[in-house]
Amino acid sequence: MIPQAYELLLIMDIAAFDSDLPSEELFQQVIEKASRLLGVQKLILSLNDPILQNCSGFWGFMKHEDPMAATAEPGPNSYLHQFTNSSSYLYMEEAGPLSVQKQRLYTIFARSLEDALTRKKIKESLRQSEKKYRDILANMQEGYYEIDLKGRIVFCNQSLYDLLGYEVGELAGVNMLTICVERRKVFQIFRAVWEQRSAKRVNTIKLRRKDGSLCYGEVSIRLTRNSSGEVAGFSGLIRDITERIHYQKRLEFLSMHDVLTGLYNRRHFEDLIVKYQESTDYPITVIAADLDGLKIINDSMGHPCGDMVLRAFAKILRDGVKGRGAAARLGGDEFGVIIPRCSSKQAEIFMEKVRRAVDDYNQENPTLPLSISMGSATTEDDSVSLTELYRIADDRMLHDKLYRSVSMKSEIVNILMAALAERDYVTHGHAARMEVICEAIAKKLQLSEAQIADLALLVKVHDLGKVGIPDSILTKPGKLSDADWKIMRQHPEKGYRIATSSPHLAGISRLILCHHERWDGSGYPLGLAGEEIPIECRILAIADAYDAMTSFRPYREQITHEEAIGEIIDNAGSQFDPHLVEIAVPILNELHSGVKLFK
């Protein structure tokens, strides 16, 4: 018999298992206790559990013995304990039969081991669950954070570090509010969650990255509690919605602004009229503005140049308003401005300032001029609707446009002609020499004074459409490619459109259109033949060809007078009017003898 005091100490030792030990070490502890305290000579611990299976093993069996056979027919000197709710068991065997007292100690040992293994399983399950939880947090795209009640970050995942541009560990202990742009707003949100004890999803929080740049996050917030159930802090997810916010802002901008100029569009301008109609910011001034001659620029120099003019005028309006009101492009060449707390006198000052800015722009950009018409209307109270006020301003703008129309269009055409002369340096003197030839032929034909005057003007402006031809083609050395010629042959139509916009040139617009037609109908752009071609254009064709052949061109060698006359005679009846060739050749010979005329 074991003394009672010693048995108590023995039981205490038997029951003391360290469940925190690694699986292999725990099995060694089982062997050590069983052999030292109970005299066990053979032991099998079989655990049918994926978490505890590394604790399984057997001890004390000879190499030729089969441990599993021992459990099949337990003898009087063996002990078999089946673990609760599983197929796991503990088998122990010693040299002699087990006494009742020994069996009781074996039972205490087995049950204590089962309790230790249960604790170990729970801890290992928690550890694996936490690892899985951390792995999920680490690999999820959303940022995850945990903060204490003082706002200090106690944990965050890799995605949050990536979102904010920090290295791992740099955010530990950092106050959450320091990375928020609107700190007071965020503090109040977290406080509301704490006071109401309920989770909250916040649509947008603006965050500041490590490099100072801003990003936007959709944030969820919930309370975290400690093991005692007390609130210990907050946790939640931060989804990066920066791209979505930028896209929304871009859509919002496009819904309110004109894409080309950046000014407000018509829809928003009309919304502003409604808004100011209900305000008390009187007096209110509305200004209607129109960009004159835009069609001429688009037709002659192309829409990209027209767009440049629109953007330039939009900048002048934007700088003039400077936050006092709003400027809008209402469509095409129409603009509108609305200015609250602006008297009629202040409106006049504003428009004069705009006109001075336009003059300054034209001095710096002589080849791409601005010309504007404006009208304003002011109301001191709400007795006149702002819609009616804009109509009044628009009528005054149209009156201004009609008053300035003729001089404006002539000025634009003159500027375009000057721009062409600057670009097409090759043809300097070309018009003067052609005018002498054409005048001599016209007088020989006894054309009317009106026809001679039209022909003289045609000589000067027949190539007006070349202002819309790129420099790379207009001054290209060598022969033009088929693609180049396709563009070059557009200049009669461009010139025609410009001329129809000018009161001074409208009368010869058809002559400009037809000046590259050929006698045999192979010319362009209309393919006219014979006497369908105006007489002025047939005369111009001979003079133009002669001067081109006997003058320098980057794409053709200069030839002699005799060679040029031969070419003209050879092409009589195909390119040139044969009757006019008979008249022109003697005149060209006479003029050639006076070389001074062509210097």
Q: Over the stretch 513-537, which tens digit does the pLDDT of each residue have?
A: 999 999 999 999 999 999 999 999 9
Residue among 86, 85, 81 nearest 111 (CA): 81
First to last CA, the chain: 145
Question: What percentage of the chain has pLDDT greater than the value 90?
Answer: 42
Question: What percentage of the chain has pLDDT greater than the value 70?
Answer: 89
Q: 424-598: CATH homologous superfamily?
A: Hypothetical protein af1432 (1.10.3210.10)
The answer to whether the pTM exceeds 0.85 is no
State the sign of the Cα–Cα–Cα–Cα dihedral 290, 311, 293, 526: negative
Q: What's the average model confidence in pLDDT over 423-438?
A: 72
- Per-range mean pLDDT, top range of 45-54, 69-78, 219-228, 567-576: 567-576
pLDDT at 414: 63
Is the confidence at residue 271, as pLDDT, over 60?
A: yes
Q: What's the average model confidence in pLDDT over 104-118?
A: 85
Residue among 458, 411, 430 nearest 550 (CA): 430
Is the confidence at residue 423, as pLDDT, over 70?
A: no
Q: What's the average model confidence in pLDDT over 489-508?
A: 83
String of b and e for 226-246 (b: at least 16 CB within 10 Å)? eeeeeebbbbbbbebbbeebe
Residue among 306, 342, 345 nearest 322 (CA): 342
- At residue 120 the predicted structure's pLDDT band, cuts being 50, 70 and 90, is confident
- Greater confidence, 72 or 273? 273
pLDDT at 599: 39
Lowest mean pLDDT among 109-113, 133-137, 539-543: 133-137
Is the confidence at residue 460, as pLDDT, over 90?
A: no
- Distance, in Å, from the CA atom of 305 to the CA atom of 302, rounded to the nearest integer, reads 6
State the sign of the Cα–Cα–Cα–Cα dihedral 381, 382, 384, 389: positive
Q: What's the average model confidence in pLDDT over 364-371?
A: 81
Domains 4-128 and 140-246 share a fold: yes
Q: What's the average model confidence in pLDDT over 364-392?
A: 89
Is the confidence at residue 253, as pLDDT, over 60?
A: yes
CATH 3.40.50.20 applies to domain 259-418? no
φ, ψ for residue 87, nearest 5 deg? -95, 10
Is the confidence at residue 266, as pLDDT, over 70?
A: yes
Residue among 571, 596, 597 nearest 584 (CA): 571
- Distance, in Å, from the CA atom of 22 to the CA atom of 120, rounded to the nearest integer, reads 9
- Greater confidence, 363 or 323? 363
pLDDT at 12: 67
pLDDT at 411: 61
pLDDT at 553: 66
CATH 3.30.450.40 applies to domain 4-128? yes
Domain extents for the chain?
Answer: 4-128, 140-246, 259-418, 424-598
- Greater confidence, 438 or 201? 438
pLDDT at 426: 46
- Greater confidence, 113 or 416? 113
199 phi-psi bin (left φ>0, alpha ψ -120 to 50, beta other)? beta
- Greater confidence, 527 or 401? 527
pLDDT at 77: 87
CATH 3.40.50.300 applies to domain 140-246? no
Residue 195 has which token pair?
A: 């006071």
pLDDT at 598: 43
Is the confidence at residue 425, as pLDDT, over 60?
A: no
- Distance, in Å, from the CA atom of 60 to the CA atom of 13, rounded to the nearest integer, reads 22
Query: β-strands 42-46, 89-93: how paired?
Result: antiparallel
- Greater confidence, 104 or 336? 336
- Per-range mean pLDDT, top range of 82-96, 119-133, 284-298, 308-322: 308-322
Is the confidence at residue 309, as pLDDT, over 90?
A: yes
pLDDT at 596: 43
- Greater confidence, 573 or 474? 573
- At residue 410 the predicted structure's pLDDT band, cuts being 50, 70 and 90, is low
pLDDT at 256: 92
In the DSSP assignment, the letter for residue 99 is P
- At residue 595 the predicted structure's pLDDT band, cuts being 50, 70 and 90, is very low
pLDDT at 450: 87
Is the confidence at residue 477, as pLDDT, over 80?
A: no
Lowest mean pLDDT among 48-52, 77-81, 288-292, 352-356: 48-52
At residue 522, the 3 state secondary structure works out as coil
pLDDT at 432: 80
Q: What's the average model confidence in pLDDT over 448-458?
A: 89
